[in-house]
Structure 1
């Protein structure tokens, strides 16, 4: 019975219960056995919800105050931690392309060849031409930037998943854009056009992959695709070339099936705007699973691989420090750190990059 002047409602604390579904539970229990026990349980549920709502609001306010790229990294880290590794999240890149890489930026007008070396490996990419449905041959640029890497990763992933060198792009492009969190927009400044530029550049280019050991050198003609079907976009305000079907060359397809580097698509989303970070991500994945003892990679070697566009060592090192820190924001267990002499790495389980244990990298 309530004390004098204090309603039973306040004694039981029913006024703390505000959510409609919890109020409904309260009324359903009213007048039944152990009603006061039920009230305390429902109040506890309400408090749990209130604490979660407060924490969610604090987190939302925190994210709202972050720059876009940092916010994306933070959200993706939470998703990866909550969901863990999963085979359906795997995407792939040919190990040579991941190690040597494409240009970070568009090359100057008239420059149609790009070369990058790493250790005793080299990649030369030469721009090619595509023939239009009208019979003309149109010069394409050397593929460049993050979109070229993401497109190439998408194509190689499709080939591995289907175990076929032949890919129907019309069936996979929208899924690809959605996968990486890009809106599917048209027009001159839309995402579709930007990706089409890199698609056509990749389809038209020629690649030469080389290796040497001081005694002999080997070069492989590695044109990525040996069949491409193109047509003009049907949009009246955007009569651009669009490729519908492609076939990997036998050599590239065979090499891809043997030497693919896996990566989690959520990581690609985290670094979708930076070609350098995508390169660093794939390279770290390759290195972590291929070394057996701790390794320090010198700044000189790192600059030869990731220093494109930097005139000074100090500027490159500062950028590298940021990039490594950003990788560790998403994958805090990565066993790498910058020292006075270079980047220190240790062998690690694939789980540090959210990769399933079976997704080990095939060695070259």
Structure 2
């Protein structure tokens, strides 16, 4: 009986062995292979059905978690953020049109981001907003990583904006609800803004005033493939690049993409990465400082707590081994090696 052997390649092997003295041994072996394949297919079918039933963002995180677990840490998957911006951050949402400065502090570190103007092709100077949201963070991370890998403040770009977006892992989509215009807006905002990065210890303070990007032609027409107004290179200013080389926070690109729809979740991932890999003992961060750090846009404590619980759960879906838990007192963190965040020891490939 060969009904329990169905795959064509296994049946071909069975026929090849027919009539030989090892036929019975081969048939038993092929039955075992067929059983293993059937079990794997059933498992894959069940997993596909499970994923299909999940909401989109949860499904994305679940897939990324499997990839991280199967592939493990890799220097090729690393991206970097300037540590002060990763810890203190930029706004989550667009500020009011008359708000041209944004300040955030964390511990003994502070960042002030001031909106600037760009010269348009018709000669007018056009006010840009303060960079905000997840796209500003992802753009900075991408360019910072390229600069560090090439050991140069000059970042060579793809031929078009669409190709540049693909380099970051995003398929460019036009139209009213597409992602091309939001990327354009954040690139312009980053090109025009200035940043004040400071630190203090109670006895001394230090401050660096920088314009992150230098000498960029970064005005866009309506055509996403237009090359005439798309720069072949984007250069960090010398002062910003020097700060980046001294203070760069490593992050797994797979996690960035899984959380790419939420600036708050990205900031929480950055903050956890920074804090947990520098601990020597248990740290408890109370709900009040947590809200000061991540509560932008919330007036009610209860609503913030509910959202924070969900945000932290999203990160733990990606990294279930994180030694973190929420209590009535706040967020309790234990010291951990970078490997729990899929960050290898060798940071630059």
TMscore range, shorter length: over 0.9
Decide whether aligned partners of structure 1 residues 156 and 173 sit closer, same or farther in structure 2, where only a CA change above 3 A counts: farther
TM-score (norm 1): 0.90
- Residue number in structure 1 paired with 2:241: 253
Find the residue that maps to 1:229 and give its secondary structure: coil
Compared with structure 1, are the counterparts of its residues 41 and 176 closer, same or farther at alpha carbon in structure 2 (3 Å cutoff)? farther
Map 1:132-147; keep pairs closer than 5 Å: 132-147=120-135
Residue 48 (structure 1) aligned with residue 39 (structure 2): no
Is 1:294 the counterpart of 2:301? The answer is no
The more displaced of 123-132 and 72-81 is: 123-132
Contact map agreement 2:154 2:235 (CA 8 A) in 1 = yes
Query: Which one has a bigger Cα radius of gyration?
Result: 1
CA separation of 1:319 and 1:176: change in aligned 2, threshold 3 A: farther
* 1:263 paired to 2:251: yes
CA distance in 1, matches of 2:320, 2:339: 11
Counterparts of 2:237 and 2:225 in 1: how far apart (Å)? 34
Secondary structure of the residue aligned to 1:290 is: coil
Backbone CA RMSD of aligned residues: 2.3
Q: What's the secondary structure of 1:228's corresponding residue?
A: coil
Gaps of 5+ in 2: none
Relative to structure 2, which stretch is displaced further, 204-213 or 309-318?
204-213
Q: Which among 70, 78, 83 is matched to residue 71 of structure 2?
A: 83
Q: Quote the residue 2:4 is aligned against.
A: 16
The question of whether the paired residues in 2 share the 8 Å contact of 1:231 and 1:244 is answered with no
User: Can you list the C-alpha shifts for 1:189-244, whole angstroms capped at 9, x where unaligned?
Assistant: 33222211111111110111223344554432122123222354372999996554
Call closer, same or farther: CA 1:312–1:242 in 2, change over 3 Å. farther
Aligned equivalent of 2:208: 220
Retained in 2: the 8 A contact 1:154–1:176?
Answer: no
Task: Give me the whole-angstrom Cα distance separating, in 2, the residues matched to 1:321 and 1:265.
Answer: 23
C-alpha distance in structure 2 between counterparts of 1:211 and 1:258, whole Å: 14
| Structure 1 residues 234 and 328, CA gap change in structure 2 (3 angstroms) | closer
User: Gapped runs of 5+ residues in structure 1?
Assistant: 1-8
Return 190-199 or 47-56, whichever deviates more. Answer: 190-199
Distance 1:171 1:261, change over 3 A: farther
TM-aligned CA deviation for residue 37 of structure 1: 1.1
For 1:240 and 1:229, locate their aligned partners in 2 and report how far apart those are by CA, in whole Å: 9
What is the aligned counterpart of 2:143 among 119, 132, 155? 155
How many Å separate the matches in 1 of 2:135 and 2:339?
A: 26
Residue 61 (structure 2) pairs with residue 73 (structure 1): yes
CA contact (8 A) 2:157 2:164 kept: no
2:244 match: secondary structure: helix
Matches within 5 A, 1:159-174: 159-170=147-158
Residue of structure 2 equivalent to 1:323: 311
- Pick closer, same or farther for the CA change 1:119–1:228 going to 2, 3 Å: same
Count of matched residue positions in the alignment of Structure 1 and Structure 2: 348
* C-alpha separation in 2, matches of 1:237 and 1:284: 38
Q: Does 1:121 align with 2:146?
A: no
TM-score (norm 2): 0.93
Instruction: Indicate conservation of the 8 Å contact 2:191/2:218, yes or no.
Output: no
